[in-house]
Structure formats: C-alpha cells, structure tokens
A and B are shown apart, each in its own frame.
Chain A
Amino acid sequence: MSDFNRRKFLEGSASVAAAASLGAGAVFAPAVHAQTIKLTPEKGAKLRVLRWSRFVQGDIDQYMKNVAAFTAKTGIEVRVDNEGWEDVRPKAAVAANTGAGPDIILSTNDDANLYPEKLLDVTDLAEYLGKKYGGWYPAVQSYLRPDGKKWLGLGLGAAGSMMVYRTSMLKAAGYETFPKNTDDFLKMCQALHAKGTPPGFALGNATGDGLWCNWLMWSHGGKLVDQNNKVVIDSPETQKALEYGKQLYATFIPGTLSWLDPNNNKAFLDGQISVTNNGISIYYAAKNATDPKVKELQSDINHASFPVGPVGSPTESHLFFNQMVMKYTKYPQAAKEFLRFMMEQEQFTPWLTAAGGYIAPPLDFYAKIPVWTDDPKNTPYRDAVKNMRPTGYAGKLGYASAGAGADFIVVNMVAEAISGSKTPKEAMERAQKRAERYYKV
C-alpha cells in the first residue's frame, strides 16, 4: 500500500512554498496527488523479474537497491534476471506461449500487444499511478491501453533517441545551435561533411538506433499504415522522405549500412563523427570515463531534439519500455505491489536520477525532477515519451506492428533507397508488399 499520505503531501506542499520563498529553485518539490490503492501480497510470495540489461551502470545499481528495499519492506524475495533487450522479446514470447517463466517482464515496444490475453489486468494500478503522478503520456496509453479501457501493463519509460552532437565540430561548420527543421539540418550535415566531420546514422538492422528511419519517413508525412491499419507506405510523402534521405546519406561517414546499435557510439566517442542519434549513453560514457581522452569529450557533447520536417510537428521515435505482469503468476498481488513500489517517487526518482537521463519518464510528474535540469544537456531527453509516436504509427499496435518493426521494413526501405541500391519507388513497393503481409491479420 502507498505510504504516501495527506501529511506527507502537506509536507511536500510546504517544501514547495519554502523553496519558492527562498528562491531555491533547485529544491525538489513533489506535487503528487493523494491516491490510495490496496494491494495485499500473497503469503510466501516470491517473484521473478526479467528485464533488459542496463546500458548505463547507474540504472541497474539503483534498480537493485530499490528491489532490496522492497524485499526488506515486504519480505518478498525478488530474483532479477537481465538479458539484452533483443533477447527479452523471445523469452517473453516463450513465457507467454508456454504459461511459465518470470512473473514480471520488462520488455520493449509493442510486446504487450502481441499477447494481451496472457497479461494480468493492471488497470487499477495504472489508474492509481496516473492520477497520483500527473497522468500517463498519450504514447504510453497507445502502447498499454489499446482499447482505451484496460491496461495491459505499466509504462516504465523510453530510451530517448535524440540527436547527439559535437559542439566544436558544429561551430567549425558555422553552426552555433542545432537546426530546428529538416532543411537546415541537411545544410548543416553538408557543411559538416565538407569539413571532414561527417554525421553517421545506423542503417543496419539496429533495433534502437534504426529508429531514426521512422523520423525520416514521418517528418515528411509518410507512414507505414493509416488509422485503419491499411498499409500506405508506398506514397508520395514517403518518396519525398527518401529523396531527402538520399541527400542526407551523401553526407554520412562510409559504412553506415552495416551499423548495428553499438557502432555509432564507438565512432562518436572516437571522434570520427560529429552527429548521430542515440540515447544519453554516449554522454554518460564520456561523463564517467576513466580514459582522459574520452572524458574530455563531456564538455563538447550536446543533445538536441530531432528537427521538425514539412509536417510541422515533432515526429520522434523512441525505444519504449513496458512492465508486464504475466497472467500465469501465482502471486498477482505481490507482483502489482512490486510494480507500485518501484514506480513510487521514493524509488522512481532516485532510479531515474541514477540512470542519468537514460530513461525518459512515462508519467508527467517525473518530468519535473531535477535530473532533467541540473545538467541542461539532459533536458532534451526529458520529453521523449511525451513527444514520441508509437511504432506502427498511425495504426493500432499489435502483432502486425511488432512484426513489421522486427522485420526492419522501414529501416531496410530507407537503407535501400538512400544508398542507391534501389530506387525510392522500388524500395517503397517492396516495403508495401512486405508490410501488407503482416497487416493482413
């Protein structure tokens, strides 16, 4: 049960007032609303949690501290297994299919929509947290409340995919700030290329870093499917995006067609590229580096949101994280209590802070915590979930969107067209045919 009560809320409010009166803007002031939920863990409950392996060390260190605090408080033993996020999906799929495995799974993107009937209904918990912490962002609801009523799981956040750039290299190319629109972005990339400090974006089958291809397509009005899940990727808008991409690709460092998720990190930290898309892990690595050469980069690295394209609004695509309770669990109440505990501010705020901005929050309240503003370089990552479009935009999530994403339909279409391996029309036709297979369901 929540240990947040009216007294604490008043204490929190008082601290806000005190902070305001003292002008101490840095003092963290909770503004949560009093909510309660009654969960009674089963006697003798034990839990197994499967989660994706950390990308930043602070994440797992604090997560495990929170787990230990949960065990100390409730006496419920929790075993946490870590797998690379590529491997969580197959394991979760097997667990859902066989009805045996971890009680709680922290997975990625639209997994919850692959087997909704195998997941425990957590509507009460989601509503409790939503009301208490300023509401879930719309993207979270798309992923986890597909029918607008029942919650299939809880959002954990997203690894924001933002622009990561070298300030000095941009300056040398004549840019003081990062461009806000796609036209200026292209010009900047051309200038960077001319200076011998090219950009580089992954075009291989990269699960996380291939997401920039969604941005490329969406920013020009292209999309995989419409609201009725009709495949419409073969369109004039997508063609425009691909034509734009061809010009962009001409500025890239050679070799991006083979890039998987770790390649851009390596190239960036080695000083070979000036701009890429990534989570905050590059900055985190520089900040915490023991190698003085890498540590030096810390002051030069900065982040920005993706430029806005002709559609006129942000079209960001990020790696979303779910928390699912499997229906077969023997301890549903304990599992829900675990998730509640981990999502409460006493645990969630230190966790987000320790992760150094790697996980963008799913609830509005957590966008206000100091980690996003104490270091201004973290700020662009703060609103990743708030601004993101779900995979499979503009259609509904489910088997089809998951399959299309896993098959790298958009990434391969972009790679084929912008590298010149196929004409944009040929690449779109192939993507259309392949996507229609999934959306035939």
Chain B
Amino acid sequence: MLERFQNSRNALGLAFMLPAALLLLIFLTYPLGLGVWLGFTDAKVGREGHWIGLENYEFLWGDSVTRLALFNTLFYTFVASVLKFVLGLWLAMILNRNIAMKTFFRAVILLPYIVPTALSAIAFWWIYDSQFSIISWVLLKLGLIDRYIDFLGVPWNARISTIVANVWRGVPFVAITLLAGLQTISPSYYEASAIDGATPWQQFRYVTLPLLTPIIAVVMTFSVLFTFTDFQLIYVLTRGGPLNATHLMATLSFQRAISGGALGEGAAISIAMVPFLLAAIMFSYFGLQRRAWQQGGKD
C-alpha cells in the first residue's frame, strides 16, 4: 500500500501540495470568505452581525463619500499605473545600455522600493507640508511663486501629490522587472534589425515591445493591484483628506470598519474592490498573456 502510494505520481503530487493548499486555505480563503460574509451582515466591533443581505451595498451605492472614494481609487490607479509604466520602461531601457557605473545605478534605482512605505510617506509629508515644503521654499527663492503651494490642502493638488508619491515608490519595481525582461531579449534581434536598416524607434516598436509584452502583462497586473489597494501612503499623508478627496477604497474601508466599528460596512467596501481587481487580472490574462503568438501560433 505504502509502496503503491510512493510510486503514484498523482498521490505524491497531492501529498506534496497539501501543506501549501492548507496554508492557502487558512490564510487566504478563510479571511476572504469571512470578508464576504461580513459584507452581508451588520457586524460591529465586538458584536456578532446579523444577515442583512445587500443592505450595506445598497447604502454604499448611494453614499457620496464611497462614490468619491471609488472615483479617487480609479483615478489614482489609472494615472499612477500609466506613469509608473512609462517611467519604469524608460528607466529600464536606460539601465539596459552599457553605461558607466551600471551596477551602481541599478542598485540606486531600487532605493525607493526598499524604504519602508511609512517612512517614505513621512518624507513626502514633509516635502508637501503647507508651511515647510522644500519644493515651495525653492520655488519661492527662485521667484517662481509668491506663496507656498498648498499641496495637500486643495483636493486636486492632494490627489496629484499622492499620485506623485506613489509613482516615486512604485517605479523601481516596474523598472527592475522590465530590465530583467529586457535582459532576456537576444542582441541578435537588434543586430539583424539594424542590418535591415531599422531605426531605434522601429527596433523598440517591432522588437523590444512585442518580446517584452509577457513581462509587461505581469508587472502591470501587479502594479495595478498594488496601486488599487494602496493604504499606507494615504493613511500617513492625508488620512483621506482634505474633504475626503484622497480617500481610497482601502482607507475608507479601514476607517469605517476598524476606527468606526462598522465591520460589515467596511467589509462591503473591501469586497466591492474585488470586481475591479478581477477585471485587472482578467485583462492581463486574456488580453496580453494568452496571445496566440506566445504559444507558437499567429497573433
């Protein structure tokens, strides 16, 4: 019996997979399931919830702050992800060249990513301070402005400022991952295209970009997911202010569920994020990763 088990690929495979599956079940599936359940209840901190069906979702649909948070989240994710992609790709292309002190620059580029988020958020908080901002100070000294910029006190300024901080933090991840992808492209493609008379732009458009697409799909999926669920940066910089202009779904969910005690409503806000996250994954999966040409067929 034991021998049969040991010789069975299926049984062994299942046995080896079980610990990981168990861990996933406990630490991923259970919390997610609990979140879904809580979203259908009126659970409060310290109190069991009762089933109330879609009431939380109905309320959130009509709640102006939630709608604003949804808009903020989509705007934040879209703009930050696009900027991170463009800047990350640009940096990766530069770092992929034979420049002096290449290794040093590759290490430096990672710095924003390895600094703890809360720490970099505090640094940005000082940079954006309405009274002590270094940016405002420099611009004022240069005579370009006549009063300090209110980075975090005006809704649109605050949205843009938080996006800039997010981009600063997120670019290294995109850049380093795309650089890894660029390193896998054989130089022979470039040599061949150069012999055919391709311009740098044509090389980028017809060699680099198609070959980089699978890694772009992966990195952008992660980038979108991280940005959509961002919490720490906003929590430290603005706590969702001014006037809820920078509240993201994640910060609003925390505020209502934990600080405010409305566990059910907070969970519903979190669960409402899931369709958007799934859409991002689906887009990457079906739109980019499973292109036929990757499997040897025609595009």
Q: Does the CB pair A89–B239 fall under 8 Å?
A: no
The chain A residue sitting closest to B60, CB to CB, is A437
Contacts of A434 in B (CB 8 A): 63, 65
Q: Does the CB pair A438–B130 fall under 8 Å?
A: no
Given known contacts A266-B131, A437-B59, A258 and B46 CB-to-CB distance under 8 angstroms: no
The chain A residue sitting closest to B136, CB to CB, is A255
Q: Does the CB pair A267–B47 fall under 8 Å?
A: no
Q: Which of B24-76 contact A (CB under 8 A)?
A: 44-47, 59, 63-65
Given known contacts A204-B238, A263-B130, A256 and B153 CB-to-CB distance under 8 angstroms: yes
A292, B62: Cα distance in complex, Å: 55
> Chain A interface residue count: which class?
35 or more
Given contacts A254-B150, A399-B262, 20 further A-B contacts (CB under 8 A): A89-B259, A93-B261, A115-B46, A205-B240, A255-B130, A255-B150, A255-B152, A257-B242, A257-B243, A260-B239, A266-B131, A270-B132, A406-B259, A407-B255, A407-B260, A412-B241, A415-B242, A416-B243, A421-B243, A437-B59
A373, B47: Cα distance in complex, Å: 45
State whether the Cβ of B222 lies closer than 8 Å to any Cβ in chain A.
Answer: no
State whether the Cβ of B85 lies closer than 8 Å to any Cβ in chain A.
Answer: no
State whether the Cβ of A97 lies closer than 8 Å to any Cβ in chain B.
Answer: yes
Give chain A's interface residues, CB within 8 Å of chain B: 86, 89-90, 93, 96-97, 114-115, 117-118, 203-206, 253-260, 263, 266-267, 270, 272, 399, 402-404, 406-408, 412, 415-416, 419, 421, 430, 433-434, 437-438, 441
Contacts of B150 in A (CB 8 A): 254-255, 257-258
25 contacts between A and B (CB under 8 A): A90-B259, A93-B261, A97-B46, A114-B44, A114-B45, A205-B241, A254-B147, A254-B153, A256-B130, A256-B153, A258-B152, A259-B130, A263-B131, A402-B260, A403-B260, A403-B262, A406-B260, A407-B255, A407-B259, A407-B260, A412-B241, A412-B244, A421-B155, A438-B260, A441-B44
State whether the Cβ of B148 lies closer than 8 Å to any Cβ in chain A.
Answer: yes
A195, B280: Cα distance in complex, Å: 55
Q: Does the CB pair B243–A415 fall under 8 Å?
A: yes
Number of interface residues of B (CB under 8 A): 36
Q: Does the CB pair B261–A258 fall under 8 Å?
A: no
The chain A residue sitting closest to B262, CB to CB, is A403
A267, B131: Cα distance in complex, Å: 7
Q: Does the CB pair B242–A403 fall under 8 Å?
A: no
Least Cβ–Cβ distance between A118 and chain B, in angstroms: 5
Contacts of A430 in B (CB 8 A): 64
Least Cβ–Cβ distance between B246 and chain A, in angstroms: 10
The chain B residue sitting closest to A110, CB to CB, is B261
How many interface contacts (CB-CB < 8 Å) are there between A and B?
Answer: 121
Given known contacts A115-B45, A115-B46, A263 and B259 CB-to-CB distance under 8 angstroms: no
> Which residue of B46, B59, B132, B255 is within 8 Å of A117 (Cβ)?
B46
Interface membership of chain B positions 83-123, coded 1 if the CB is closer than 8 angstroms to chain A and 0 otherwise:
00000000000000000000000000000000000000000
Contacts of B148 in A (CB 8 A): 254-255
Contacts of A270 in B (CB 8 A): 131-132
The 4 closest A-B pairs by CB, nearest first: A255-B130, A115-B46, A258-B152, A258-B153
Q: Does the CB pair B261–A203 fall under 8 Å?
A: no
Q: Which of B250-278 contact A (CB under 8 A)?
A: 255-256, 258-262
Contacts of A93 in B (CB 8 A): 45-46, 258, 261
The chain A residue sitting closest to B65, CB to CB, is A434
Q: Does the CB pair A258–B259 fall under 8 Å?
A: no
